[in-house]
Amino acid sequence: MVAACPFPANHGTPGAIREMSETLANMGHDVHIVTYPMGQDDIVVRFAKVHRTAPFRPESDVKVGPSPEKLLLDLALLRLLCRVIRRERIDIIHAHNYEGGLVGVGARWITGRPLLYNAVNLMTDELTGYQFIRPDWLVNRIATFLDWLIPIFPDHITAVSEDLKKWLVGHGTSERKVDVMPCGIWPEMFDNAAPEKFRARYQINDRPIVMYTGVLNAFQRIDYLLRAFAVALKEQPDALLLIVSALVSGPDEREHKKLADELGISDAVLWIGPHSLEDLPSYLALASVTVMSRPECPGHPIKLLNYMLAGKPIVCFAGAAKGVRHLHNAFIVPDHDCNALGRGMITLLKDRALAAELGANARATVVAEFDWRQICRKIERIYDRLLGVPPESACTQIKPAASREVEA
């Protein structure tokens, strides 16, 4: 597993890599995660082996996105990856996200091992939001180039959503080369939520809670969230918006707080973070309504899976509505329409029967369709194909979990 990111970390891709790796390792695969030195020390990586480019450097303030430091880290990651492949006799390189994909391509050329690339986003959708490169026209050129380049070299690609697969196929990738493979959940993760400690800490009492969980980068459109909540607050003046982030993002948070001041809603917004992974279920248990404010999202938002597993009613834009349907397990509104997003909040705050129905259906959907154990069985079949194992042989030669020999 190539994790070109701080690892482990309590957000998005690092969380998905950890959970996928642990599940595959628990199924009997020998999984090695090759990653950067930094990560959060309050998250335990079980079963899989972690290899770092330097001694572990605990960081509570994990940064998301590109940086000058990562350019050197990626070169070190490539060297380490090739050493691990040879020393551990690795069968398959499984690379995640763009930087991991680039490192994986280099290792594929050097070692000859097959490369499975897990596509989770598009650079044209996210790169400008990191504000790493200026001006914007140059960012867009680089992003477009990366979106074209990365899919060329892997032996196979998994895309976390049908939209992302359609984009890849529409831009020249063979349809036979791409499978849709969403992120997953562990159904038992939210079994022991304890919301009352946070209700008391923040003196929430019985106020209705609208909640967003996740990073605060510009591409998440927290500005849309605030504008939509301002609409909802006019009809539900006792509502409280909790913006719960696992990571510190000072510049983004200051910009969002300024907008909240301009909208006159600051007294009804709580900014919470950073928080530990184990506290996420307890925070979500407080929510009356959960919100996805990012439109036109080609990937599969992990926060959406968390909302579903928590059994919470969801309001989201159509572009982020992966695996959900309007008025069945979510309340879906047109992209970029902040007024409609706010009206959706009001609808679910006032119609508690509808909110309960959507939340229950959301949980049933995620447990039935997004369990990591089911998803990893599909990944096993891709591994078999990459290793040239005939389908009938893969079915008849399955070994007990403790004795599986494929190494990733």
pLDDT digits (tens, 9 = 90+) for 235-283: 999 999 999 998 767 788 899 999 999 999 999 999 998 888 889 999 9
Q: What are the φ/ψ torsions at residue 118 (nearest 5 degrees)?
A: -95, 105
pLDDT of residue 128: 54
**Range 293-298 average pLDDT:** 87
Domains in the chain (CATH in brackets) are 2-184+371-403 (3.40.50.2000), 187-369 (3.40.50.2000)
- 353 confidence band (pLDDT: 50, 70, 90): very high
pLDDT at 77 over 80: yes
From residue 327, how far is each of 58, 180, 355 by CA, in Å? 43, 25, 9
What pTM does this model have? Answer: 0.82
pLDDT of residue 398: 40
Cα dihedral 97, 100, 103, 104 in deg (nearest 10): -80
Cβ-based neighbours of 11, under 8 Å, separated by 6 or more:
62, 64, 214, 215, 246, 247, 302
3 state DSSP class of 408 = coil
| Residues across the chain | 408
